[in-house]
Structure 1
């Protein structure tokens, strides 16, 4: 029987590790994780959180013959009190031989269901994970695709930290580039090994508005790049801007082109503004920019 690209895994919390004031790592375990896809990088997964009584409504998600979209439609039709919250995360590490995966959470109180659950989750707590099946011939949920680019720009906020860390740790030694990561406090800067030619800058937000320091860093990067470029080098590319690009919150190139590749992820308005700056002001080919609005300020995730 062919396997679906994504499947549902029953897991429980094996360990919890407080990485910083605002980052918590939960190591999840389960026998079926031996089949969890090992692509890593910015691999997206879905977390199905328990209802207040600790239960998970059965909509066929544990039947391997049922595709994700089929049970997902059933889930959407449930009344609110029976519909388990679903949130999107990126995987931090996969160890199928140990039947473990690591998921890093940004703790921001108990208003959001994922942060509330993670804050109090102890070893043995159940969690349902929807992720890639290594036995499938298809893949999905990965956006990192630098092609033959020799230089990269990576920028994101705390919601993108797991993906950024996994990507940076995988970069080849010859690559050059800049990585900018905005986090709530200085203490939230995590250890991160990068190639010698890749500069990683952690930006502590402190009391400044969300996205302000990240935007300033990317604009400063652009000024340096423009100063180093030949006169009028960008003029031929400015027309590649999409007149409807401000309406798009997520776009990734099928095959990156050019010598520089940009990967941007985080709060949607900040990320779309940065992408617009790269394309319209710096003349970077939009086909060399992957940008993902992971969340929108003032709005809960629409699962």
Structure 2
């Protein structure tokens, strides 16, 4: 019996390019191997291996079925800069393995970052390597952090980098879901169509000339004030068994997700690390929400490039 690794590299090419708004574009990637792309969507993380300007991607054994991702990744890290293709983390907007396609939504923020630069100049037929879950593996690949359990009240908050994951999550919610969704985006025209259950309020927050994270923080604080007026949703002080909240090391990856939710509330926060850190601190210290009910993910950090 052949053993398959939980992650594999998929050869894809650009099949469609769909502008969504001034700052979002959807790129549909196609490839025969995507029939084995194993995910249910949600906030499924993937890695994109970005081609150089001439379309080339250095072979480090990505397609060797006998090697794990860790093995070829180690070789990739040892390459000289001029041979090491950038690798960036994204989330799936929509998987369609039966059609051998996936959609990835990109935030276009200039050409300084390799992923945005690639998406800005992408043409039909351009190659892209995608590292994602392998449906043929008996092991779970992971990469999905949305785990609300049976929480009855939801808070989902993030900036434009989290918008694709948030949209996928919201579209998956059951009809009786109740909660608040706050998405900060660059402009009002970046608010995307999104079908949500009747009990879930979706707020698109155009940033305009205001500093990054300010609109998002204000919306979450407003949600906290409204929550305080609903006694059933106001949490008691965290139990003595709850781990204490300390400020994270700014040089570390800011990522903490609960394996199992405690209590009736669940918060999913993703985006710029400084903003998300402050929001989690507010939820825990000011509102009394158990940190074990908060998924907290620093997708990026102001002033720093993503570490591959």
TM range (shorter): over 0.9
Q: Which moved more, 1:49-58 or 1:88-97?
A: 49-58
Give 1:41 shift: 0.1
The structure 2 residue matched to 1:201, chosen from 203, 227, 230, is: 203
The structure 2 residue matched to 1:189, chosen from 170, 188, 191, is: 191
Counterpart contact for 1:241–1:279, Cα < 8 Å: no
Counterpart residue number, 2:101: 100
Counterpart residue number, 2:169: 167
Counterpart contact for 2:227–2:233, Cα < 8 Å: no
Q: Which moved more, 1:3-12 or 1:220-229?
A: 220-229
Distance in 2 of aligned mates of 1:164 and 1:42: 7
TM-score by length of 1: 0.97
Distance in 2 of aligned mates of 1:14 and 1:288: 39
How many pairs does the alignment contain? Answer: 303
Counterpart residue number, 1:223: 225
Counterpart contact for 1:234–1:282, Cα < 8 Å: no
Distance in 2 of aligned mates of 1:233 and 1:270: 23
Counterpart residue number, 1:82: 83
Distance in 2 of aligned mates of 1:192 and 1:93: 13
Give 1:258 shift: 1.0
Give 1:132 shift: 0.5
What is the CA deviation profile of residues 127-162 of structure 1, one whole-angstrom value per residue up to 9, with x for unaligned ones?
000000111122210100000111100000000011
Counterpart residue number, 1:276: 281
Counterpart residue number, 1:138: 139
Gaps of 5+ in 1: none
Distance in 2 of aligned mates of 1:33 and 1:230: 45
Counterpart contact for 1:42–1:91, Cα < 8 Å: yes
Give 1:81 shift: 0.1
Alignment of 1:1-303 (within 5 A): 1-139=2-140, 140-229=142-231, 234-237=236-239, 240=242, 242-247=244-249, 249-303=254-308
Distance in 2 of aligned mates of 1:170 and 1:5: 24
Indicate the SS of the match to 1:136.
Answer: coil
**Given the superposition, is the C-alpha separation of residues 23 and 169 from structure 1 closer, same or farther in structure 2, using an over 3 Å criterion?**
same
**Given the superposition, is the C-alpha separation of residues 236 and 133 from structure 1 closer, same or farther in structure 2, using an over 3 Å criterion?**
closer
Distance in 2 of aligned mates of 1:211 and 1:71: 37
Indicate the SS of the match to 2:5.
Answer: coil
What is the CA deviation profile of residues 193-242 of structure 1, one whole-angstrom value per residue up to 9, with x for unaligned ones?
00110000000000000000000000111111123237995334598463
**Given the superposition, is the C-alpha separation of residues 105 and 236 from structure 1 closer, same or farther in structure 2, using an over 3 Å criterion?**
closer
Gaps of 5+ in 2: none
Distance in 1 of aligned mates of 2:152 and 2:298: 25
Counterpart contact for 2:238–2:289, Cα < 8 Å: no
TM-score by length of 2: 0.95
Distance in 2 of aligned mates of 1:108 and 1:163: 18
Distance in 2 of aligned mates of 1:279 and 1:30: 44
Indicate the SS of the match to 1:162.
Answer: helix
Counterpart contact for 2:94–2:168, Cα < 8 Å: yes
Give 1:256 shift: 1.1
